[in-house]
């Protein structure tokens, strides 16, 4: 959210923040996730810098956070930009500062609008966690590969696919429920 707000700030005084946020999102959306995991997972521990964690799994998690925060920032930015300018003008006319307008008017509306795309990113993150296997960890996909290779059977892959389905479909239905609830609330307010 902070990156999205930084990219949405108006005025020349905020240009450095906008450039920094844009550079961050552009960089981490441009480089493939697996490459970021490899660079940080193998590169950071090999530097052996004192005070810096040497765990490759720590750096794999950092890599996933860096990549997905860039994608999520763009989703939030789209939500912020989708709020009609009249909402901002109305809040400013009521005497709210720019910060309060953003906090109390723009961001709440933006967050409600981006719930479905945020779920997509969350599901993508769950599935991309399998990429950590390139560092040599036995996560779910690697375990399915091991069992499949030992038994010459592809059933572990089917079982893993079912696990992902069991995890992601309830999440999707939960977001559908949240969106429907929000629509009912807006219709109730509009109908009064």
Domain ranges of the chain: 2-127, 138-192
Question: pLDDT of 27-58, one tens digit each?
Answer: 999 999 999 999 998 888 888 888 888 888 89
* pLDDT attached to residue 189: 76
Helices in the chain by DSSP H: which ranges? 2-8, 15-30, 33-47, 56-82, 85-93, 98-101, 107-113, 115-128, 140-151, 155-191
Q: What is the pTM of this model?
A: 0.79
Domain 2-127, architecture per CATH: Orthogonal Bundle (1.10)
Q: What is the mean pLDDT of residues 119-129?
A: 86
Percent of the chain at pLDDT above 90? 46
pLDDT, averaged across the chain: 89
């Amino acid at each position: 959210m902070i990156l999205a707000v930084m990219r949405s700030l108006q005025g020349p005084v905020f240009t450095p923040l906008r450039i920094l946020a844009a550079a961050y999102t552009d960089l981490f959306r441009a480089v493939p996730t697996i490459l970021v995991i490899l660079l940080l997972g193998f590169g950071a521990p090999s530097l052996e810098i004192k005070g810096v964690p040497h765990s490759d799994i720590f750096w794999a998690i950092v890599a996933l956070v860096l990549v997905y925060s860039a994608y999520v920032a763009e989703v939030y930015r789209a939500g912020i930009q989708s709020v009609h300018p009249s909402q901002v003008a109305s809040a400013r006319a009521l005497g709210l500062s720019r910060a309060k307008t953003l906090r109390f008017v723009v961001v709440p509306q933006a967050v409600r609008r981006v719930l479905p795309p945020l779920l997509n990113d969350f599901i993508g993150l769950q599935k991309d966690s399998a990429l950590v296997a390139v560092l040599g960890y036995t996560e779910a996909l690697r375990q399915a590969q091991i069992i499949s290779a030992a038994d010459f059977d592809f059933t572990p892959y089917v079982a893993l696919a079912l696990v992902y389905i069991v995890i992601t479909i309830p999440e999707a239905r939960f977001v559908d429920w949240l969106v429907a609830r929000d629509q009912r609330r807006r219709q109730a307010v509009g109908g009064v």
